[in-house]
Amino acid sequence: MKFIILLFISAALFFTSAALAGDQGFVKEGSKRSITLPAPNITLKEGPGRDVTSSYCRICHSLDYITTQQKFTKAKWMAVVTKMIKVYGAPISGENAKIIADYITTHYGIGG
Amino acid sequence: MESKGVSRRDFIKTVGITTALAATGTIPPVLYASERRLVTFPEKTELLLLTSSPPQLETPLKYFRELVTPNEALFVRWHLSNIPTSVDLDSWRLVIHGNVDKPISLSMDELKKFEKVGYTAVIQCAGNGRSFFEPPIFGGQWMNGAMGNVTWGGVRLKDLLKSAGIKSGSMEVVFKGLDKAALPTVPGFLKSLPLDKALEDDIIVAYEMNGSELPMLNGFPVRLVVPGWYATYWVKSLSDIEVTDKPSENFWMKTAYRIPDDPCGCVEPGGAPKKTVPINRMTTRSLLINPEDGSRLKSGQSIELMGVAFSGGYSIREVLVSIDGGMNWSPARLGKDLGRYSWIQWFYPWQPAKPGNYQVMVRATNSIGESQPLDGLWNSSGYLLNKIEKYNLIVA
């Protein structure tokens, strides 16, 4: 029942909001086009390792690259952190990599 | 910096998922991935947010009720966080160089002097539908909104290459846009096509989407259009075309965007491929768009199911619809044909006689017999998804 109510609320929100198209943040001046992007605004969940994760994992992209993934195990998250270091050159020490993998698995993954 | 678009909206789930819950009472595995906020980015209507920097925004399915997707609703997908936020056409140039007789540098006016061509073509991200893979896969957790059907206008890539003069011994053509990574250690986003592919008539450098300029987030001022192939090749804010005499060593060709080298492009779920090739042509797909998954209908009332079907550059020959979970299938009526690269709409009149839960399935076949598998095929990057989708409609 709760879900059905939610359905109507989200449907209503969905259709009213879709009417508002966005020309805010776009400027056309003669031969020039410019946009202003909305600033990323993601706060990671409280817990040990959050600050290390927040500061290193947003150097190259926003933190929603973490928060919008599905649930993965620690081994999988460790592999992602290793990929960021080895393939993309993330400046993260081995010790911090472990802290980050622990933190993400606890708050956004599955298992320990 | 304005942060209104991303931060202040309430967190809501999409209608489709909420209704799926209402229908089945169980939590589908995609629930986590599909919790999405609607956000407004410049020149865009409200789209579903995957990531904010670089932006990855997904189109709500309701926009696919139209044959052609409006520019403001087309999905957005960048790889590197320094995307172009300002372009001045007075100084912008498209450069063609490398293994050519005469390197050229074209202004927009000069580019527009080449013969203008156009057609309607589906643009679809390689990872469209990734969130539906089981076991799940890292990367953009797209539902089915990383696609659209757009009328492109521009000039033939072939004409540009010929005017620079391709030298003998050339192998590939490499494309680069204005986007840059935050750190120099991240490989620049380069894509390449084999020379014979690059010389095909239908590959264009597009400066128009549906008769207008490209939105900045979709690659203003020009992007490559490789109809029938996944959007990873459709390089946005294209500024540099290089003809090379050796195969590309770039990360985004050699390591990323690859599929298992076998006819299905698949491996055992959870497995790893022995050999891979660069992803290329799109698989055949069909979707139900209206009514949405999980909708409630009245028994005895006539409705028309409607959706879209497309394939990688071959016309759709047939769309079959089942309303009983795949036991019986009947052909749908196909809508207006905008050519082999466009999607086609399908329609299926239906009058549910009895209350109950109905499982709708749709299956398309293209002119060379390519169709859709019943069960999902799996690969480790979450590409090529084209399983027959299952939708629940509740008749009361």
Domain boundaries, chain A: 2-33, 50-108
pLDDT at B36: 82
First and final C-alpha spacing in chain A: 34
Pairing of strands B94-98, B238-244: parallel
**Nearest residue in chain A measured CA to CA from B137:** A70
The minimal CB distance from B42 to the residues A6, A26, A88 is found for: A26
User: What's the pLDDT at A91?
Assistant: 98
Is a pLDDT exceeding 80 seen at residue B218?
yes
- From chain B, the residues in CB contact with A73 under 8 A are none
How high is the pLDDT of residue B213?
Answer: 98
**pLDDT at residue number B25:** 32
What would the mean pLDDT of B164-173 be, rounded to a whole number?
98
Contact A32 B90 (CB under 8 A): yes
Domains of chain B by range and CATH? 8-77 (no CATH), 94-138+145-278 (3.90.420.10), 285-395 (2.60.40.650)
Question: pLDDT-based confidence at B13, cuts 50/70/90?
Answer: very low
Portion of chain B with pLDDT greater than 70, in percent: 91
Query: Is 80 exceeded by the pLDDT of residue B224?
Result: yes
Looking at this protein, which amino acid is placed at residue B203? I
The alpha carbon of residue A41 is apart from the nearest alpha carbon of chain B, in Å, by 6
User: Which residues, 6 or more positions from A79, have their beta carbon under 8 angstroms from its beta carbon?
Assistant: none
- Nearest-angstrom CA–CA distance, B171 and A30: 40
Among A37, A10, A57, which Cα is nearest to B19's? Answer: A10
Identify the residue with better confidence: A31 or B10. Answer: A31
How many other CB atoms are there within 10 angstroms of residue A28's CB atom? 12
Looking at domain A50-108, its CATH class is mainly alpha
Kindly tell me if the per-residue pLDDT of B22 is higher than 80.
Answer: no
* pLDDT-based confidence at residue A111 (cuts at 50, 70, 90): confident
> Are A89 and B183 a contacting pair at CB < 8 A?
yes
Taking the Cβ of residue A32 and every Cβ of chain B, the question of whether any pair is shorter than 8 Å is answered with yes
Residues of B in contact with A3 (CB under 8 A): 18, 21-22
Residue B74 has pLDDT above 60, yes or no: yes
* Residue B297 burial by Cβ neighbours in a 10 Å radius (0-12, 13-18, 19+): middle
Query: Which of A18, A34, A70 shows the shortest C-beta gap to B141?
Result: A70
Look at A60 and A20; give whichever has higher pLDDT: A60
Terminal CA-CA length for chain B: 49
* ipTM of predicted complex: 0.89
A59 touches chain B (CB under 8 A): yes
Tokens describing residue A65: 């690259």
Distance CA B58, CA B73 (A): 9
Instruction: Tell me the C-alpha distance between B260 and B206, whole Å.
Output: 31
The 10s digit of each residue's pLDDT in B281-292 is: 999 999 999 999
Mean predicted confidence (pLDDT) in B80-100: 98
Shortest CA distance from A84: residue in chain B: B186
Picking from A19-28, B259-268, B277-286, B358-367, which range would have the lowest pLDDT averaged per residue? Answer: A19-28
Q: B132 by DSSP, 3-state: which?
A: helix
Residues with Cβ within 8 Å of residue B56, at least 6 apart in sequence: B49, B50, B76, B77, B78, B140
HSE of B370, CA atoms in CB hemisphere, 13 A: 20
Q: What percent of chain B has pLDDT over 90?
A: 90
Which residues have a Cβ under 8 Å from the Cβ of B180 and sit 6 or more positions away?
A: B80, B82, B188
Average pLDDT score, chain A: 85
Please check whether residue A89 touches B, CB under 8 A: yes
- Average pLDDT of the residues in B194-209: 98
> What pLDDT was estimated at residue B142?
97
In this model, does residue B66 exceed pLDDT 70? yes
Mean pLDDT of B346-374: 97
Phi, psi of B12 (to 5 degrees): -130, 155
Which of the four pLDDT bands, split at 50, 70 and 90, describes residue B375?
confident
